[in-house]
Amino acid sequence: MNAPARLDSAPRIEDFPYRLTDNVRFADLDPNGHVNNAVYATYFETGRVTLMKDQSYWRLPEGLAWIMVRLDIHFRAELHWPGTIEMGLGVTKFGRTSVSFDQVAFSDGRCVASAQAVTVLIDQATRRPTPLTADIIAKFQPWLRRGVAPSN
């Protein structure tokens, strides 16, 4: 297994091949005037779900679904409204039934948060984990995080 990137090292957006932008909403703020910590989970979810449900790119086999089993967030800087964020995502590991991601959120060229996420492929009928197929792994290849060799 590869050692995870140090939490205090500064991520580079260039290392994350899947990217999208989102707006910071006024409703994202807490009483301290910055984005509430819980909202970052939503930003990161938007990145993962946008990739994993993009049917123009791929279709998950019938009867299978992804579930989140782990999300670790490192809050690096305050984020304020108004503004936009650039999110990056990169695959870091394939397990027997899981895919792991590194994710980042940048604002004005500065990393405001980073996360590690693990999703598991399940059978929708049994709700049990199911092994990744060679096709699923192949479809994730363009999204491998630069600088990290994915492990199995």
The CA distance from 123 to 121, in Å, is 7
Percentage of residues in the chain with pLDDT exceeding 90? 82
Q: What is the pLDDT of residue 130?
A: 97
pLDDT along the chain (152 residues), means of 10: 56 96 96 96 95 82 94 97 96 97 97 98 97 94 85 64
How many Cβ atoms from other residues are within 10 Å of residue 8's Cβ?
7
Beta bridge partners of 29: 35
Q: What is the pLDDT of residue 150?
A: 63
Q: What is the pLDDT of residue 45?
A: 96
Report DSSP state, residue 127: -
Q: Which residues of 36-59 are buried (b: 16+ CB within 10 A; e: fewer)?
A: eeebbeebbeebbeebbeeeeeee
Q: What is the pLDDT of residue 1?
A: 44
Q: State whether the Cα torsion 120-150-60-134 is positive or negative.
A: negative
How many Cβ atoms from other residues are within 10 Å of residue 88's Cβ?
23
